[in-house]
A and B are shown apart, each in its own frame.
Chain A
């Protein structure tokens, strides 16, 4: 047993976002200011009381935590920042919960901002991609010497292996982005709202085969923020607390690849039949996959939804291809996923837009895209971390 219990001790007290757009031509600091102000207003919290911050995607595309404290005149007792990857959303919320439990801060703004339109040099693949320059190679398999670049290429390696190993097809994978686009059509904040068909997906150009353009998320501008505080403090604020019941941290090692669970056989992973067993997040929260009313996942590429479903035991390895068909992951289906539209269609705010949507769903604020009676919502990712929230 851990030395102290964190289940339901921390909560999201406020959630807010800037506008999202392909080319807003606004600075990341400006967008972050909108998101932080919106989250504080949502919580009914005066900005003077904000004393902690964690940023998961900073310069040169996003605004850094220390910059935001300076420019927005915030008096932070504690802040932290990850290097610029999308994978640290759950980590940030987990650290914020620990900061609050340990008395290092009372109200922690967790966020990311991105302004690709304010930044000329291509970062997501190509000569400007710092991942490819990492000693021992990039974390998504980047190896520029052979033209291997961009996070999507690593996802394409996983997709190919999945298709080969399980006999699944790109047309089956299309069910994921098709579903998320349907959700985005119900979301006025989403950037891409025009529904498309499986045929449209199949006809869209390859970026890195076997992934088509419509398997890729957006590159855009925007910011999103949630305020983490203790459950006690959250109960005194404007909106009902969104309790954090379960936490599972982000793993690393030779048996991990950012886009595949252990045993998958990409990079230096062993090859074996993965068994999800009981993932720690469920044990901590006291629920199982069957209790999840809606699932949110980091869908930078459509294949990541399949990997996440299998990693967390919603279905067995190889079964996600069939599991995601027939509307099962759509609003009204057995397991609605990314009902905001996801990174694929709402916006790519490093998963912070998903956290904002989860808070709004659990408060019943989502109108035509509301998951009826949503009480327990999970954030669970291909790379193995997770949060379980409830109202």
Chain B
């Protein structure tokens, strides 16, 4: 990961030429995934070609930002000083409506209330002036 900048105490993402569009979009408060122009597949993590058909005709397009919790853990041990104040903190794997899964922190829910299959939606966390993270919260009934 890149060296910490400014006062942000947590690990920063390793931004590369491949994944930069994802992180740039988050700063604009857009949640995007790659999409194959040939077969329509959506995937994560970022890839240089479509994992299904190997087409290079791929684009970053808005995704629903909705999904379900497929698994989760709660950290009780300190590994990163930047997370110490939040222990015990959760990390969830969310299966997006488009198919791929990603790791995130769930917000707006107590750790004891997290359930497998829980419907969640993206929330943009402006973690630092130059960094926005995709976190997820339980979907509201009206959504």
Contact = CB atoms under 8 A, between A and B. Distances in A.
A149 B11 CA distance: 11
B77 A147 contact: no
B73 A160 contact: yes
Given A137-B45, A144-B11, A265 B70 contact: yes
A157 B73 contact: yes
A329 to B, nearest CB: 25
A302 to B, nearest CB: 15
B103 A206 contact: no
Contacts of A205: 76
B105 A146 contact: yes
Interface string A62-98: 0000000000000000000000000000000000000
Nearest to A127: B80
Interface in B54-82: 70-77, 79-80
Given A133-B14, A268-B100, A147 B79 contact: yes
B37 interface: no
Given A132-B1, A206-B74, A266-B93, A145 B10 contact: yes
B9 to A, nearest CB: 11
Given A150-B79, A209-B76, A145 B71 contact: no
Interface string A9-51: 0000000000000000000000000000000000000000000
B51 interface: yes
A160 B75 CA distance: 13
Contact of B103 (A133, A135, A141, A165): A141
B18 interface: yes
A207 interface: yes
A156 B103 CA distance: 13
A133 B79 contact: no
Contacts of A137: 45, 103
Interface string B1-31: 1000000001111101011000000000000
A146 B103 contact: yes
A157 B93 contact: yes
A156 B80 contact: no
B14 A208 contact: no
Interface residues of A, number: 38
Interface in A143-164: 143-150, 153, 156-158, 160-161, 164
Interface in B80-129: 80, 83, 86, 88-89, 91, 93, 95, 100-101, 103-105, 116
Contact of B10 (A122, A125, A147): A147
Interface string A121-132: 010011101001
B33 to A, nearest CB: 13
Contacts of A1: none
What band does the interface of chain B fall in when counting residues whose beta carbon is under 8 Å from A?
Answer: 35 or more
A132 to B, nearest CB: 7
Contact of A145 (B12, B45, B76): B12
B80 A135 contact: no
Given A148-B91, A254-B51, A126 B79 contact: yes
A136 interface: yes
Contacts of A161: 70-71, 116
B104 to A, nearest CB: 6
Given A147-B10, A161-B116, A254-B51, A133 B1 contact: yes
A136 B46 contact: yes
B133 interface: yes
A210 B76 CA distance: 10
A144 B1 CA distance: 8
A372 interface: no
Given A145-B11, A265-B70, A268-B101, A207 B77 contact: yes
Nearest to B114: A160
A144 B16 CA distance: 16
B132 to A, nearest CB: 11
Query: Which 6 residue pairs across A and B have the least CB separation, nearest first?
Result: A144-B11, A209-B74, A126-B79, A164-B116, A161-B71, A206-B76
Interface of B: 1, 10-14, 16, 18-19, 43-46, 51, 70-77, 79-80, 83, 86, 88-89, 91, 93, 95, 100-101, 103-105, 116, 133
18 contacts: A135-B19, A137-B103, A141-B93, A144-B11, A145-B11, A145-B13, A145-B133, A146-B91, A156-B73, A160-B71, A160-B116, A206-B88, A209-B74, A209-B76, A265-B71, A267-B101, A268-B44, A268-B101
Given A135-B16, A136-B45, A205-B76, 6 more contacts: A127-B79, A145-B133, A146-B105, A149-B80, A206-B88, A254-B51
